[in-house]
Amino acid sequence: MEKAETANRRRGRLRQAAATTGIVLLLVLIFSVTPVTATVFTYGGNSTYGSLQNIINAANSSDVILVKSGTYAENLTIDRPLIVQAEDPRNPPHLVASGQEAAISLTAKGIVLDGLVLSGNGHYGILVQSDNNQISNVSISGFRQGIRLKSAVNNEFGSNSLVNNTIGIVLDHESQVNAFYLNYLDNPVDVESQSGDTTWSNRPSKYLYEGKMYTGSLGNYWKKYTGSATAVGGIGSVPYPVQQNASSVQDTKDSKSATSSLVDRAPLVNLPAMYTLMGREEQQPGTVPGSAPNSGHGSVPGSVSTMPDSVPTIPGSAPGAVMPLVSDAFPVSGPGSLNAGPPPFPVNLVQYWWVVPIALIISAAAGIWYERKRKRTGTDNDEREGNLGGNTTVVKKTVPSARDDSEGLHHYAAHLPPALEKKYPGAEYLAEGGACRVFRAWDPVEGRDVAVKVPIRFDEVTGTQFTKELHVWQSLHHPNIVEIYAANIFPVPYIEMQYVESSLASMKFPLEQKTTIAIVKGVAQGLQYAHEQGIAHRDIKPGNVLIAPDGTAKITDWGLAKAEGTKQSGIIGFSLEYAAPEQLAPNIYGEPGIWTDIYQLGVLFYEMSTGEVPFKGGGMGEVTHAILHDNPPLFSRSGPGSAEIGAIILRCMKKHPQDRYQSVSEIIGDLEKIRF
């Protein structure tokens, strides 16, 4: 029997060693192959880098370069996938090109340009010699050729202004599957194209025009177009031949296709600012395999605001030069949205072949270390208590009562600190966040379950954060806020609070509309009470909303809360996918406050209604870019009340705080008007 048990234990250890090896290998592959972060550079002319080109040369793939307002005399070459955009879209930077070179040359795939003014008298405003790029909200004037494509495939040009160039757009024969839409063109010659596969409008999408919703394609605004509007959404009555001399298309095998690529079938009869694209449509037939998601069809999530009612000119430039027609609502896709994104997984493995032997060596070393550690300790604690750690861990069964204070931090991972164990005997470890752990315990005096929250670390920074949260939370007493029963900093800091078993994060989204509205209304009522006390939560998300057995929503975790009139409370942080623009760019949108809760309530409402957060992506830079510049995808649920819900969400999630609801009570009022 003993031999059999010994053999079983040995086999168990071998299985765990093999599992550890596999996990280590998987993690190494994931973090080696998939980049998850991006650096954000800000350039204002007095940078230590000296010039904008130097910053571009120093940046890595997927980095973001924010260019401050001002005038810069430079010619740029971008040879890696970067996001280069205006820091303040309302006051864009002006790049004045010198000599005969292009103002900006694109030689790498996956570049995003947004919100720049380009002027000069050289050959090209933008020279594109690569694929899968997006150029948006760029004003180009004074060049011989505003935009020139050379062997460039699957690029997208939306909401740009090309005015007073000798030729607006030039495409060679090898430039295929490119898309132009919602652009403003006023040049002696607008287009010269030898491309047999260029689209001059986006594929059918929902859009707003003069306060009404339509579905259809949107082309470009051609100053020379003389057709009248049809009855359908501000689209011209007849297609517009973008190139008057179609015979200049050379060497095309399909003359019919070549001719069709020189026609804008949905010319705009009004300035592009009058048309607002809504949402993201599904992929349609005709998309080039392996191309970008939009694949030259102009499928853009969010809304587009491109042209003012009048076209302002660039000070000091040639007459008629147009300022960039920018809006913070314009949906710049960035990596993973417009561009093609990373190649398929097998291609990644080939490209990073060297990761495999390194991962194998690390895995083997980890397995050897694991076995030696087990032999030294001679304990089966891991098998008994499970593997506890990470950001959040839920224990499925009650932890054994045997305790040994010498276990230290490993002991604390599964048990209350020893100083609290007598007060809360048999407490069960539930979960942990970034700074605290939560346990379920029984209060024999009151005869009720309670939740006990304690810091993970006992250092000065954590202690300060914990006591500030306690100070804010203790003053809040409302049915929609988790109640604190007791708290102290001795013998160790802890909070005893109302135990609520279910979290909104554990529910499967989307929820039924009536349930969603009831929960959102409850959260809003809790926030309204907190705001009346001068306190903003600033971290509203599903994990911080608990659901009582009767369905009441209760806000918890006030660790990032801030009282009105105080300095920054505790750690500056947030959950990225729920972050408001002012939490990411306070220099543009102002400091976070109660208006941040309103934005985050809109994100929560959106996720509960659709099953997805509005802004998501594979990396911090991509998500950050979307939050700062994209409108949320169209709220697409149907049925009674859906239009009202969509309107509430969009108003909550306006980029600028002054454009949102000014109080939570206004949201509650609109929620109460919804009828089913």
What are the tens digits of pLDDT across the range 55-65? Answer: 898 888 888 89
Cβ-contact 76, 99 below 8 angstroms: no
Rounded distance, CA 197 to CA 175, Å?
8
What lies within 8 Å, CB to CB, of 285 at 6+ separation is none
Record: fold of 384-498: Phosphorylase Kinase; domain 1 (3.30.200)
Q: What's the whole-number average pLDDT of the chain?
A: 76
Closest CA relative to residue 212, chosen from 232, 183, 229, 227: 232
Please tell me the predicted confidence (pLDDT) of residue 383. 35
Cβ-contact 546, 556 below 8 angstroms: yes
Quick one: pLDDT band at residue 353, thresholds 50, 70, 90? low
Quick one: pLDDT band at residue 24, thresholds 50, 70, 90? low
Residue 136's identity, in one-letter code, is: S
CB-hemisphere CA count at 13 Å for 59? 28
Q: Euclidean distance between the first and final Cα of the chain, in Å? A: 68
Higher pLDDT, 313 or 73: 73
Q: What is the pLDDT of residues 527-546, one digit of tens each?
A: 999 999 999 999 999 999 99
Quick one: pLDDT band at residue 9, thresholds 50, 70, 90? low
Rounded distance, CA 514 to CA 525, Å?
16
Please tell me the predicted confidence (pLDDT) of residue 358. 74
Query: Within its chain, how far is the Cα of 638 from the centroid?
Result: 25
What is the rounded average pLDDT of the residues 625-653?
89
Please tell me the predicted confidence (pLDDT) of residue 369. 72
Please tell me the predicted confidence (pLDDT) of residue 667. 97
Most confident option among 29-33, 60-64, 113-117, 444-448: 113-117
In three-state secondary structure terms, 241 is strand
What is the rounded average pLDDT of the residues 570-589?
80
In three-state secondary structure terms, 457 is coil
Residues of the chain above pLDDT 90, percent: 40
Residues of the chain above pLDDT 70, percent: 69
Does the pTM surpass 0.75? The reply is no
Q: What is the pLDDT of residues 654-665, one digit of tens each?
A: 999 999 999 999
Looking at the DSSP bridge assignments, the partners of residue 124 are: 145
Please tell me the predicted confidence (pLDDT) of residue 414. 67
Rounded distance, CA 172 to CA 485, Å?
73
Residue 108 tokens read as: 């790498």
Most confident option among 70-74, 275-279, 594-598: 594-598
Q: What is the pLDDT of residues 77-126, one digit of tens each?
A: 999 999 999 988 889 999 999 887 899 999 999 999 999 999 988 899 99
Residue 594 has pLDDT above 60, yes or no: yes
Q: Using alpha carbons, list the distances in angstroms from residue 25 to 365, 399, 522.
A: 11, 30, 45
The domain segmentation of the chain, as residue ranges, is 2-33+359-377, 40-341, 384-498, 502-672
Spell 132-153 as b/e; 16+ CB within 10 A means b. Answer: bbbbbbbbbbbbbbbbbbeebb
Q: Hunting for tokens 């007060």 — which residue is that? A: 423
Rounded distance, CA 662 to CA 654, Å?
11
Higher pLDDT, 550 or 301: 550
Residue 58 tokens read as: 């120093």
Q: Where are the beta strands (DSSP E) in 446-531?
A: 448-455, 484-488, 494-498, 502-503
What is the rounded average pLDDT of the residues 457-485?
83
Q: Hunting for tokens 């150029």 — which residue is that? A: 135
What is the rounded average pLDDT of the residues 176-204?
90
Q: Which CATH number fits domain 502-672: 2.10.70.10, 3.40.50.2300, 1.10.510.10, 1.10.287.990?
A: 1.10.510.10
Higher pLDDT, 573 or 410: 573
Please tell me the predicted confidence (pLDDT) of residue 337. 33
Rounded distance, CA 300 to CA 553, Å?
35
Sheet containing 198-199: which strands, arranged edge to edge? Answer: 40-43, 64-67, 83-86, 112-114, 134-136, 156-158, 178-181, 198-199
Residue 405 has pLDDT above 90, yes or no: no
Q: Using alpha carbons, list the distances in angstroms from residue 125 to 53, 98, 119, 163, 334.
A: 16, 11, 7, 11, 21
Q: What is the pLDDT of residues 482-492, one digit of tens each?
A: 999 988 877 78
What is the rounded average pLDDT of the residues 65-70?
91
